[in-house]
Copies of this chain bind each other. A is one copy, B any other.
């Protein structure tokens, strides 16, 4: 899959608006999960794979390539890890953890009716 790049057309924006480029990247299977998992620290390929619910190595490798290309992940000495930019991105994603909990709680209440 083509690696999205700001300023060039992506799925979602012919003009390559940064937010759409980001959404194209993050909207790919496992991209968000990988970032979330890496936030706890560097991990080897296989550890990461196991933490990501045994995602297939094909996709994991593809996503890691894309995320590296985009400067969000780096392959360091202790394995794959978030770059400074990636860490920064994660701080913006983190609140979603809390939101998702109240959200799922609300859904459950609705279910129980």
Q: Is the CB of A19 within 8 A of B36?
A: yes
The A contact surface, by secondary structure, is: helix
Q: Is the CB of B7 within 8 A of A108?
A: yes
Closest B residue, CB atoms, query A22: B100
Task: Give 1 or 0 for each of A1-30: 1 = CB within 8 Å of chain B CB.
Answer: 000011100011110001111110011111
Q: Kindly list 19 other residue pairs between chains A and B, CB separation below 8 angstroms, not including A12-B52, A21-B104.
A: A5-B107, A6-B107, A7-B104, A11-B29, A12-B30, A12-B33, A14-B53, A19-B36, A19-B97, A22-B96, A23-B33, A26-B32, A27-B31, A71-B107, A71-B110, A89-B96, A89-B103, A92-B92, A92-B96
Listed by A's residue number, 25 A-B pairs whose Cβ atoms lie within 8 Å are A5-B107, A6-B103, A7-B104, A7-B108, A11-B29, A11-B53, A12-B30, A13-B53, A14-B53, A18-B101, A19-B97, A19-B100, A21-B100, A21-B104, A22-B103, A23-B32, A23-B33, A23-B36, A26-B32, A27-B28, A27-B31, A70-B107, A71-B107, A88-B99, A89-B99
Considering the complex of A and B, which 7 residue pairs feature the smallest CB-CB distances, nearest first? A6-B104, A18-B100, A18-B104, A22-B100, A23-B32, A19-B100, A92-B95
